[in-house]
Structure 1
Amino acid sequence: MGPSGFSPPRFPKRLPPLSIAGNKSAMRVRLKGINRVTKKSASGKSVTYYYAWKGGPRLEGEPGSAEFITSYNRAVSQKRAPRTDLLVSIFDGYQDSTEFADLAERTRKDYRRLLRVIDDEFGDFPIAALEDRRTRGEFLAWRERLAVKSRRQADYAFAVLARTLSWAYNRGLAPLNPCERPGRLYRAARNENVWSDADEKAFHAKAPAHLRLALTLALWTGQRQGDLLRLQWAAFDGSTIRLRQRKTKVTVAVPVGAPLKAALEAVKAEYKREGKPLPATILATERGTEWTESGFRASWRKACIKAGVTGVTFHDLRGTAVTRLAIAGATVPEIAAITGHSLKEVGTILDAHYMHRDPALGEAAIRKLEGRAISPN
């Protein structure tokens, strides 16, 4: 999910070789490090600007012209050595680190986008100033300004800054991390955001088969959308689904319940009946191809609209699975073993985010108590 409120430019690593026009045989010169920024003017027309490097001076003239080459050479000759005493060196160092490389691809993409926003604001901030008590106030004030557009994305940007400074502090590159434990501005009110039985029935009644399978798979495994979209048939051995979660690197083995097993076997039988090979992934498009995350979100949103399902998202299916397991009498450790949450995370979900004090829990508790009670007669 791209953070709302931010529109940082996209910088390609390298542009194609540029030609100096004017002669019958143009001279081709490869210019290293050039960055390109495309913006929309007030009229809606796209305009492209070229810079000598990321954060460098803007180049004059049209790409390939003598004026363009001259302005590039002038910028390179005036370029100074990188400043290791400024936060920009920490931002660049973090993105070159193994810790950053170990993040999921989608997370790295989000972090790069936000680090460009942070760099624009604090790239020239002295590292030594991190020791000043007023620095924390400066960072928090910046978060407050971002929160005017989106509290959630302001928290996300601040979390990226805090993680980057934590990386630097642990390696002796920063004297301290003034962004530790800032608290949150955004509080999700998800007490009622669980899929009801009525929501599930409505979706099954209107949605296409390949999306109904996605619903069943999510409700009976409690896994994240990204992990389910990449889940391959090889992970299903007929009784268990085994996967390694991309975000947490946790490996889980989920026993396959009867409704999910029936759905999976039905899909396999359908492909066999049509004489088609199974796609690599369990969840596939109508054409049998792998989903892109954006394509799946768009199709899922349309299916929910058609089914009249509102107020809940695919993400809510993970919490719904936790809730249903709890109502069925599963313990916190049992739930964590299936969904891959930590014990603390399961407790938090049940207590604050999804449980909404379901009356079925009270009913189940009384029935259990009745089973243990000693008759007074």
Structure 2
Amino acid sequence: MDADMTPQLKGINTYVRRDPDGKVVATYFYAWKGGPRLPGKPGSREFVAAYEEAHRQAKARTGDDLASLALKYQASPEFTGLAEGTRKEWRRFISLICADGSEFDIGGLPIAALDDPRVKGDLLAWRDQWQHTKRKADFAMQVLSRVLSFGRQRGLLATNAAVGLGHLYNGNRADQIWTPEDIAAYVDASTSPEISFVPQLACLTGLRLHDLHTLTWDEVGPVAIEKPTRKSNYTKVAVIPLLDETKELLARIKTQQLARNEELLRAAASGSGPEPALPATVLSHTLGRSWKYSGLSTRVSDTQKASSPRVTKHLHDARGTFATRLRRAGLTAPEIADVLGWDEERVEKLLAIYVDRQTIVMGIAERIQRLEAEARVAQKPPGPVSMTRASVDAVGSTKPSTVRKLATASNEERNRMKYPLIGLCALMGDKGVERRSPWVSDDWLGAEIARDPWLFREVEFEAGYFDLPSDADALRWPIPASTAEEMGRRLTASYR
């Protein structure tokens, strides 16, 4: 047999793998789209035998086994409605589910057996083939679970036997956000300004690499980026607000593209290459053209490997970094969910993971300061105190000696009180400032915050008594993020 026989084998699916520069690295052949991979060279005995065996097994299906169910799912609207990249990835695992030639294959399991609790042992044995590549094993079980869920929805199964079988990979992405140090290490290792922009833009937009490499200048508006997302099969548009940092980065990218274009134009004028046009996409390579996804992904990975210290964060972690930036900018969980395309519950969970340690410590310090201050005030009546800005800066909060001074003050002195503003309210991190003293009203405190949000300053006021609202009804006044961070650092330092 030779390669001339290959065209007679109908339905063969060919996949060509290329390197980042577009050169063909390998060519793979499959019995059909989504079918098993064919070994050997096209036309060889091994190749033709594998093709015929794959089709023989497909024809021999009675329609009442797991493989048939998996193929039904692959032909269903639930599958065809997925994004192209998702379908491509899932077909590989559906082929593994359909296999029925080796000891651990499960494609031949009868539909009736899938409702027997004992089948879980077979499913786990199938998964454990890839126990040394835990992510692959877990992903295989994810696809299998979706196939069984499809069977349950269609009335073919009573249960989903894959539910509750657990995961092998226990990777924890807690606090995996790109830090300024990560960005600096990556930029230092970059072979060109063009490749250095990638994680910076990801951290300021939250876009996945598939969407980032196709982001066009036309999709960048004056106040937001509007980008149809690949994960939604381009049916949903992500609306991403432009932060000041994002605008600055985009300006630098545009400047670099113009400089690169001038360089290429000079080279073209000397006969070194064709005259280039400016790229339509925000990200481009040193030849002044848009990236191909595989090429960009490889270059990012190579740059991370070359960085020192090595950057181990995933580019996908940039979405958590962006969520943190939005949180600091004052957006609520529902607003962040809209921007990132997540459901609100997931946002709440991920914010708990991705919020930086400084914010957590700041919040703890603030609560401790507030509770201690309230306890001291409950024990002794208030009185006047005079504290300098320097003394407040040094301690970050009211000390017991201050409260003792308040207790010894006369009634006349209490009529006009001088007191650190931090003793009248609580800093709630990125949520703003909340009144925590019955001595002043919301109106007075709101006006004082609007005048100057620096809490470590002395204020003068007429002491009164105003009921404190419940937590649900408490008013909060927003303050600049930079001011909140600086005050938080001082509060944290005072409790160390």
User: Which TM-score tier does this pair reach, normalised by the shorter chain?
Assistant: 0.7 to 0.9
- Flag the structure with more relative contact order, 1 or 2, with Cα contacts below 8 A and sequence separation at least 6: 1
**Residues paired across the two proteins, number:** 340
The SS at the match of 1:315 is helix
What is the alpha-carbon distance in structure 2 between the residues aligned to residue 302 and residue 57 of structure 1?
31
Deviations 1:7-27 (A, max 9, x none): xxxxxxxx97529xxxxxxxx
Equivalent of residue 246 in structure 2, options 257, 260, 282:
260
Deviations 1:166-202 (A, max 9, x none): 2222223444422234333322222242222222233
Gaps of 5+ in 2: 15-25, 100-104, 266-275, 367-425, 440-462, 464-496
Q: Aligned AA for 2:427?
A: R
Residue 284 of structure 2 corresponds to 284
Change over 3 Å in CA distance of 1:76–1:253 after alignment to 2: closer
Q: Aligned AA for 1:216?
A: Q
Does structure 2 retain, via aligned residues, the 8 Å contact 1:204–1:212? Answer: yes
Change over 3 Å in CA distance of 1:206–1:179 after alignment to 2: closer
Residue 344 of structure 1 corresponds to 345
Q: Which 10-residue stretch deviates more, 360-369 or 182-191?
A: 360-369
Q: TM-score, normalised by structure 1?
A: 0.75
Q: Aligned AA for 2:85?
A: R
Residue 132 of structure 1 corresponds to 116
Deviations 1:303-344 (A, max 9, x none): 232353423121111112222333444321232232222211
Q: Quote the offset at 1:235 in angstroms.
A: 1.0
1:151 aligns with 2:134: yes
Q: Quote the offset at 1:159 in angstroms.
A: 0.7
What is the alpha-carbon distance in structure 2 between the residues aligned to residue 78 and residue 346 of structure 1?
46
Q: How does 1:103-114 map to 2 (within 5 A)?
A: 103-114=82-93
Q: Quote the offset at 1:283 in angstroms.
A: 1.6
Equivalent of residue 374 in structure 1, options 423, 430, 437:
437
Q: Quote the offset at 1:219 in angstroms.
A: 1.3
Change over 3 Å in CA distance of 1:328–1:138 after alignment to 2: same
Does structure 1 retain, via aligned residues, the 8 Å contact 2:177–2:318? Answer: yes
Does structure 1 retain, via aligned residues, the 8 Å contact 2:36–2:95? Answer: no
Does structure 2 retain, via aligned residues, the 8 Å contact 1:268–1:278? Answer: no
The higher radius of gyration belongs to 2
Q: Quote the offset at 1:157 in angstroms.
A: 0.3
1:18 aligns with 2:5: yes
- C-alpha RMSD over aligned residues: 4.1
Q: Aligned AA for 2:111?
A: I
Gaps of 5+ in 1: 1-14, 20-28, 37-45
Change over 3 Å in CA distance of 1:123–1:373 after alignment to 2: same
Q: Quote the offset at 1:279 in angstroms.
A: 1.7
Q: Aligned AA for 1:185?
A: L
What is the alpha-carbon distance in structure 2 between the residues aligned to residue 64 and residue 237 of structure 1?
56
Change over 3 Å in CA distance of 1:55–1:69 after alignment to 2: closer
Q: Quote the offset at 1:298 in angstroms.
A: 2.1
Q: Aligned AA for 2:358?
A: P
Does structure 1 retain, via aligned residues, the 8 Å contact 2:194–2:284? Answer: yes
The SS at the match of 2:315 is coil
Change over 3 Å in CA distance of 1:361–1:251 after alignment to 2: farther
Equivalent of residue 66 in structure 2, options 87, 90, 114:
87
Equivalent of residue 227 in structure 2, options 234, 237, 243:
243
Q: Quote the offset at 1:370 in angstroms.
A: 5.5
Give aligned-pair identity as a percent. 32
Change over 3 Å in CA distance of 1:107–1:16 after alignment to 2: farther
